[in-house]
Structure 1
Amino acid sequence: MALKKRIRISKNGLIFLIVFIIIIIAYFGSPLSKVRNINVEGVNDLGAQQVIDATKIDDNSVLLNLLIHHKSITEKTEKKLPSIQSMSIKTRNMRDVTIHVKEYPTLGFINKNGYYYRIINNGHVINQKMSAPIGNYPTYSNFGTKRLKQIANLYAELPSSVQTNISEIYNSPTKLNPYRIKIDMNDGNKVIADMRTVKTKLKYYPGMAAQMKKKGVIDLEIGAYSYPFKDKK
Structure 2
Amino acid sequence: MVLKKRIRISKNSLIFLIVFIIIIIAYFGSPLSKVRNINVDGVNDLGAQQVINATKIDDHSVLLNVMLHHKSISQETQKKLPSIKSISIKTKNLRDITVQVKEYSTSGFIYKNGYYYRIISGGQVINQKISSPIGNYPVYSGFGTKRLKEMSNLYSKLPSNVKTNVSEFYNAPTKLNPYRIKIDMNDGNKVIADMRTVNSKLKYYPGMAAQMKKKGVIDLEIGAYSYPFKDNK
- TM tier relative to shorter chain: over 0.9
Aligned to 1:81: 81
Aligned to 1:99: 99
Q: Report the Cα distance in structure 2 between the residues aligned to 1:28 and 1:195, rounded to whole angstroms.
A: 61
Q: TM-score with structure 1 length normalisation?
A: 0.97
Question: Is residue 161 of structure 1 aligned with residue 157 of structure 2?
Answer: no
Unaligned runs of 5+ in 2: none
Structural mapping, 1:184-199, within 5 Å:
184-199=184-199
Give SS of 1:65's match: helix
Aligned-pair distance for 1:232?
A: 6.3
Aligned-pair distance for 1:7?
A: 2.4
Question: Is residue 111 of structure 1 aligned with residue 114 of structure 2?
Answer: no
Structure 1 vs Structure 2 CA RMSD: 1.2
Aligned-pair distance for 1:215?
A: 1.0
Q: Report the Cα distance in structure 1 between the residues aligned to 2:217 and 2:130, rounded to whole angstroms.
A: 31
Identical positions, percent: 82
Structural mapping, 1:44-193, within 5 Å:
44-193=44-193
Unaligned runs of 5+ in 1: none
Deviations 1:166-197 (A, max 9, x none): 00000000001101000000111111111111
Aligned-pair distance for 1:2?
A: 4.6
Give SS of 2:110's match: strand
Q: Number of paired residues?
A: 233
Does the 8 A contact of 2:110 with 2:139 survive in 1? yes
Q: Report the Cα distance in structure 1 between the residues aligned to 2:181 and 2:7, rounded to whole angstroms.
A: 83
Moved more, 120-129 or 161-170: 120-129
Q: Report the Cα distance in structure 1 between the residues aligned to 2:157 and 2:85, rounded to whole angstroms.
A: 19
Aligned to 1:206: 206
Give SS of 1:231's match: helix
Structural mapping, 1:214-225, within 5 Å:
214-225=214-225
Give SS of 1:44's match: coil
Q: Report the Cα distance in structure 2 between the residues aligned to 1:170 and 1:2, rounded to whole angstroms.
A: 89
